[in-house]
Amino acid sequence: MRYITLIILLFSLTVHAQESKQFTIEGKIKNPTTLNLSNLKEFKSLSLDSMVVFNHLMQRKSSIKNIKGVLLKDVLSKIDIETASPKVLSEYYIVCTATDNYKVVFSWNELFNSETGKHVMILTAFDANPVKNEKGNIALISPTDEATGRRFVKGLSKITILQVN
């Protein structure tokens, strides 16, 4: 009986460790910060009815519905980046990391100087089909990508702003 209790306890700790109710923003910025669902309510909210998630082979992987979120660029626009000149921002890139260490990358210009930036969302609520551990986690997705699953960060835990050396 003690072994079963121990297994249940370990399983619940593992599941809890994969949840993402907040994320940090760090890197070449003046003030590292942590944001949670309450903080994200301060930004303009967007909604999508549903979208299909395709893998790298363009095969349907899953779908998500009742999508609510905020634009990544709206959140990043509130962050003070360490730079001597706005011209240097073209050398910056953003790494979005999940709780399982999955990482995706965006360039600064991709988010702030292209159509893509008008769509990349930090998801605050969505329903996964089939329902998986993603429900209730903060996530990130680029809905205009063709292979949407490639930049679907389930369980967003960290955003790091870096400069090319």
Quick one: average pLDDT of 90-113? 97
What pLDDT score does 134 carry? 53
pLDDT band at residue 137 under the 50/70/90 scheme: confident
CA atoms within 13 A on the CB side of 154: 18
Strand bridging mode 103-107 / 92-98 = antiparallel
Overall average pLDDT of the 97-102 stretch: 96
Domains in the chain, start-ordered, CATH in brackets? 20-163 (3.90.420.10)
Which phi and psi angles does 160 have, rounded to 5°?
-115, 125
- According to DSSP, the β-strands at 60-71 and 46-54 are antiparallel
**131 pLDDT higher than 60:** no
* pLDDT reported for residue 165: 84
The predicted-structure confidence for 23-42, as pLDDT tens digits, reads as follows 999 999 999 999 999 999 99
Q: What is the rounded distance in angstroms from the CA atom of residue 12 to the CA atom of residue 128?
A: 21
Burial 116-137 (b: 16+ CB within 10 A, else e): bbebbbbbbbbebeeeeebeeb
Read off the pLDDT of each residue in 13-21 and give the average, rounded to a whole number: 52
User: What average pLDDT score do residues 97-115 get?
Assistant: 97
pLDDT bin (cut points 50, 70, 90) of residue 7 is very low
Banded model confidence at residue 6, pLDDT cuts 50, 70, 90:
very low
Angle at 83 between CA 144 and CA 94, to 5 degrees: 25
Q: How far apart are CA 40 and CA 107, in angstroms?
A: 22
